[in-house]
Amino acid sequence: MGQKTIYFLCTGNSCRSQMAEGFGKQYLGDHYRVLSAGMEKHGVNPLAVQVMAEVGVDISGQTSKLIDPTILNHADLVVTLCSDAEKRCPITPPQVARQHWPFPDPAVATGSSSERLQAFREVRDGIKARIIAFDNLEAGQKNH
């Protein structure tokens, strides 16, 4: 059996899904083809690139993409990272598993530059923890 595909989705494919793709490739890349997309295409947010680089994950080469219906309909798992993506995500075939991991949009954070960066770091750390938990769950299921 080939690699499974996990597809991370958020509104603009600029922050949350980009960070999830970066961590997904780092932690799940041996077992999953990790992709991301958005309902819209907003471009990769430079603050997302910056906070991921702080933890050694380079997402600077990733691009903002719209949902590809072929990938969506053939993915093994689709993960929505915001309520907007969960509501607007097209219907998938029954064999495509779906999970919702809601995270706030750090791009709408206000305040000083350090406060905005902190919002990105909090979302980054939450996504990382969720992907590690998912990886541990997957590994546990394979060992039983």
- The answer to whether residue 15 is catalytic is no
CATH code of 63's domain: 3.40.50.2300
User: 55, 71, 77, 89: which is the annotated catalytic residue?
Assistant: 89
Residue 48 confidence (pLDDT): 98
Domain of residue 49: give its range: 4-142
Catalytic residue among 10, 35, 48, 85: 10
Q: Is-contact 84 11, C-beta < 8 A?
A: yes
CA pair distance 115, 64, nearest whole angstrom: 25
pTM reported for the whole predicted model? 0.93
Q: How confident is the model at residue 92 (pLDDT cuts 50, 70, 90)?
A: confident
Find the mean pLDDT for residues 67-94: 90
Cβ atoms within 10 Å of 62's Cβ, excluding its own: 20
If one compares 89 and 60, the residue with the highest pLDDT of the two is: 60
Q: Using the predicted structure, report yes or no on whether residue 144 has a pLDDT greater than 60.
A: no
Domain count within the chain: 1
For 1-144, strand residue ranges (E) read: 4-10, 32-38, 77-80, 97-100
Residue of 79, 82, 85, 127 marked active site: 82
Please check the confidence at residue 85 and state whether its pLDDT lies above 90. Answer: no
